[in-house]
Amino acid sequence: MSAAADAAGVRLTGVKKWYGQVPAVRDVSLGIEPGEMVCLLGPSGCGKTTTLRMVAGLENPDAGEIRIGSTLVNGLAPWKRNLGMVFQNYALFPHMTVFENVAFGLNMRRLPAAEVRRQVDAAMAQVRLAAFGERRPSELSGGQRQRIALARAIVTKPSVLLLDEPLAALDKKLREQMQVEIKQLQRQVGVTTIFVTHDQEEALTLSDRIVVMDEGRIVQIGTPSEVYERPRSRFVSDFIGFTNSVSGRVNSIDGAFTRVTIASGQVVTVPSGAGIAAGDAVDLVIRPEKIVVDPTGLVDRSVIPGTLAHMVYTGAVTYYHVDIGGGAILIAMAPNPDLHDLPALGSPVALGFKPDNMLIFPRRAES
Amino acid sequence: MAVAIADMTDKIEQRPRARVDLARLTALVALLAPAVALLGIGLVWPFLKMLAISFQDRFPDPTALTFANYATALTDPYFLRITLRTFSLALVVTLITAVLSYPVAWFLARSNSRWKHLVFLAVISPLMVSIIVRTIGWTIILGNEGMINALLVGLGIVTEPLRLMQSFWSVVVGMVHILIPFMVLSIATVLGKIDPGYAEAAAVLGASPVRNFLKITLPLSVQGIASGSVIVFCLTVGAYVTPVMLGRGQVAVLAVTIHEQMVVLVDWPTGAAVATVLTGGTLIVLLLYGLFLRRHSRR
């Protein structure tokens, strides 16, 4: 496959879109490198699908510029953009065979029949469905339809591949399997890929970079680990992964460190956050796997004592819900490497964490 | 003890099931009976009666069974010409109706325009007026002293009024007007159910709007055109009022001929044979059409 050479970057500059009076995309600027796999992640209604559809040409931006490669595509019809797209429900043409579906884009480009057959066969072999050409889409399973939709999208060697919630219609097991397949296929073909999802795990697994969107705006762009480990806002930290939060008030700020008095009355020292001043109401946020239960013998750990309020045993790991006083609960996640006795409910538990892992955000108004 | 319980459960399980089946059967019969009776008395029995008459040498009081009536219906140039005209009329009307209806159906199914409801009303409003009234409307427009001729003569474009009525095409105009709602509604129903995602997918794959329509939307909406065509074809082939009023006796069709043969000439056996030819011919056309569609719209 030599498609990597044709891969084009995508650049959105100040893109806006309204549906009537409702702003769907407020001001999106985003650069995607050739060959990169970028995910637009956010809750429903955040504008991620609208953004994707504008790149596809299925919607026109009301303001701003969209460039594919060096071409300004504003107002350029979708059939002139040389894109591949997988729709959420796949949109396989029901009146055509699987072969005819995959061949459609090549036929629209008026390739000779022999060449069409060669390329379709290659694409169908690539998604491991070589023998399914004569079937109807209705005779395929969900996973097979998904793979045919992928084959149909990549067979034309598009400059950009667009995936709109490509795995939403599949069950969990199949979804995990398809995540791997999509990633491998994308690496093989080397095509610039934008995909849209509301599933944070899918975004973390598949993307080179994640674009987190909320209410029509980009709230953070970063690699999966940046977005997960260093969320820039409470929204991002809550949307990606599971978070704990403890409310408190800033006691004093000493350069890189901020001292916060939490609800239980204890003072915790954490790295300073932007835009936070002494006296501010804040939320301290930490991932459950960054908290150690019973940190005896570990250095560089802040320790908070508490009592075990609840336990959730999930096999591989156990979640310890610990009451640290003042109505605050912190959840710690610990793996279960050996057969061991779990502590009894109500027993005292010490929680340890590295101050670096504790993030500080302005207190969010509870709705 | 165990045996006794097993025995009991057997009885408990069997009895209610049998009762439900009987109740269902009774309900089914009761629900179907009126329709079956109506169709039997109003359609099947008269049709069989007509079929019987078509093989009689005279009616009433037949003396022998004969194929002579069919020989007349199928070979007599007079009947042949009328049969041919009737079926070509139905074919032409169906074609024109389909072509005219498709864009309107498209608009109804896809547009978000605020005129949509008005267009829908305009499409179905002819159904609320009697066929006779609508046909008389056309005589006012097409007649020798009608609107079009008055306009043409008044403007000095022609000196003599054109003979717009009494022709095959005046009947076509009337029939198309009367039957267009059926076609529009049939096509719009199917178009409305097609996922717009198919056309979007085709567009992203490189299909221009024309090819998108020909390769995706048209094949997916064939079922709507088909059901509309069946309705329009059948109603045209059996039409009576419009050919009589707009053709003014110059455009004979089978329905009119059958009526003349039976009621005016009191030749029931020949009339019955012509009627059977009409029914049989229509069935054959529909069958061929169905086979054609099946071959061209595999799903």
Is residue A187 pLDDT above 90, yes or no? Answer: no
Chain A hits for B224, Cβ within 8 Å: none
Q: Could you tell me what percentage of chain A is helix, strand and coil, using 3-state DSSP and rounding each to the nearest 5? A: 30, 35, 35
Is residue A64 pLDDT above 90, yes or no? Answer: yes
| A190 to A68, A129, B78, B83, B201: CA distances (angstroms) | 16, 21, 74, 67, 22
Interface predicted TM-score (ipTM) of this complex, two decimals: 0.83
Nearest-angstrom CA–CA distance, B19 and B247: 61
Chain B hits for A58, Cβ within 8 Å: 200, 203-204
Q: Which of B202, B208, B219 sits opposite A104 (nearest CB)?
A: B202
In CATH terms, the fold of domain A242-362 is OB fold (Dihydrolipoamide Acetyltransferase, E2P) (2.40.50)
Check if the beta carbon of residue B226 is closer than 8 Å to that of residue B185.
Answer: no
Is A95 in the B-facing interface, judged by CB distances under 8 Å?
A: yes
Distance from CA of B10 to the nearest CA of A (A): 41
- pLDDT given for residue B17 in this prediction: 56
Is A94 in the B-facing interface, judged by CB distances under 8 Å?
A: yes
Distance from CA of B217 to the nearest CA of A (A): 10
Residue B294's closest chain A neighbor by CA?
Answer: A95
The answer to whether the CB atoms of A94 and B220 lie below 8 A apart is yes
The answer to whether the CB atoms of B201 and A87 lie below 8 A apart is yes
For tokens 């005779």, the residue is A139
How sure is the predictor about A81, in pLDDT bands with cuts at 50, 70 and 90?
Answer: very high
- pLDDT given for residue B104 in this prediction: 92
Residue B209's closest chain A neighbor by CA?
Answer: A79
Distance from CA of B203 to the nearest CA of A (A): 5
The answer to whether the CB atoms of B205 and A87 lie below 8 A apart is no
Give per-residue pLDDT as tens, A96-112.
Answer: 999 999 999 999 999 99
Is B225 in the A-facing interface, judged by CB distances under 8 Å?
A: no
On the question of a common fold for A3-238 and A242-362, the answer reads no
Q: Which of B112, B205, B217, B293 to mutate to test the interface with A (most CBs of A within 10 A)?
A: B205
- pLDDT given for residue A167 in this prediction: 85
Rg (CA), chain A: 25
Backbone φ and ψ of A84, nearest 5°: -120, 140
| A259 to A233, A273, A325, A328, B41: CA distances (angstroms) | 19, 11, 18, 18, 94
Q: What does the H/E/C string look like for B62-87?
A: CCCECCHHHHHHHHCHHHHHHHHHHH
- pLDDT given for residue A2 in this prediction: 40
Q: Which of B206, B219, B297 sits opposite A79 (nearest CB)?
A: B206
Check if the beta carbon of residue B182 is closer than 8 Å to that of residue B188.
Answer: no
Give the type of residue at B215: K
Residue A78's closest chain B neighbor by CA?
Answer: B204
| Structural domain total, chain B | 1
Is residue A89 pLDDT above 80, yes or no? Answer: yes
Nearest-angstrom CA–CA distance, A46 and A223: 20
Chain A hits for B205, Cβ within 8 Å: 79, 84, 104-105, 108, 152, 156
Check if the beta carbon of residue A314 is closer than 8 Å to that of residue A267.
Answer: no
Full-model pTM: 0.79
Residue A149's closest chain B neighbor by CA?
Answer: B201
Q: Which of B190, B204, B216, B225 to mutate to test the interface with A (most CBs of A within 10 A)?
A: B204
How sure is the predictor about A158, in pLDDT bands with cuts at 50, 70 and 90?
Answer: very high
Is residue A340 pLDDT above 90, yes or no? Answer: no
Closest CA relative to residue A220, chosen from A206, A237, A204: A237
The answer to whether the CB atoms of A79 and B205 lie below 8 A apart is yes
Is A175 in the B-facing interface, judged by CB distances under 8 Å?
A: no
The answer to whether the CB atoms of A136 and B299 lie below 8 A apart is yes
Give per-residue pLDDT as tens, A254-274.
Answer: 888 899 998 888 888 888 887
Distance from CA of B235 to the nearest CA of A (A): 30
Q: Which of B197, B207, B298 sits opposite A108 (nearest CB)?
A: B207
Residue A97's closest chain B neighbor by CA?
Answer: B299
Residue A89's closest chain B neighbor by CA?
Answer: B197
The answer to whether the CB atoms of A95 and B297 lie below 8 A apart is yes
The answer to whether the CB atoms of A93 and B202 lie below 8 A apart is yes
Domain boundaries, position B162: 80-296
Q: What is the mean pLDDT of chain A?
A: 89
B148, β-bridge pairs = none
Q: Is residue B68 part of a domain?
A: no
How sure is the predictor about A367, in pLDDT bands with cuts at 50, 70 and 90?
Answer: very low
Residue B219's closest chain A neighbor by CA?
Answer: A95
- pLDDT given for residue B298 in this prediction: 54
Tell me the CATH class for A3-238. alpha beta
Among residues of chain A, what percentage have pLDDT more than 70? Answer: 97
The answer to whether the CB atoms of A95 and B211 lie below 8 A apart is no
Q: Which of A93, A108, A152 sits opposite B211 (nearest CB)?
A: A108
The answer to whether the CB atoms of B220 and A152 lie below 8 A apart is no
The answer to whether the CB atoms of B197 and A91 lie below 8 A apart is yes
Nearest-angstrom CA–CA distance, A254 and A159: 51
From first to last of its 299 residues, chain B has per-residue pLDDT tens of 444 444 544 544 555 555 668 888 898 899 999 999 999 898 899 889 888 888 888 777 777 788 888 888 888 888 888 889 999 999 999 999 999 999 999 999 888 888 888 888 888 888 888 888 888 888 888 887 788 888 888 888 888 777 777 788 888 988 998 899 999 999 999 999 999 999 999 999 999 999 999 999 999 998 899 999 999 999 999 888 888 888 877 778 888 888 888 888 888 888 889 999 899 999 999 999 888 887 766 54
Q: Where are the domains of chain A?
A: 3-238, 242-362
Residue B287, H or E segment: helix B268-296
∠ CA A192-A197-A199, nearest 5°, is: 130
The answer to whether the CB atoms of A95 and B195 lie below 8 A apart is no
Query: Looking at residue B153, which CATH number applies to its domain?
Result: 1.10.3720.10
Q: What is the DSSP string of B110-170?
A: H---TTHHHHHHHHHGGGGS-HHHHHHHHHHHHSTTSHHHHHHHHTTS-SS----SSSHHH
Q: Which of A79, A80, A90 to mutate to test the interface with B (most CBs of B within 10 A)?
A: A79
Q: Is residue B170 part of a domain?
A: yes
Q: Is residue B57 part of a domain?
A: no
Backbone φ and ψ of A178, nearest 5°: -70, -30
A139 DSSP 8-state letter:
G
Residue A103's closest chain B neighbor by CA?
Answer: B205
How sure is the predictor about A276, in pLDDT bands with cuts at 50, 70 and 90?
Answer: confident
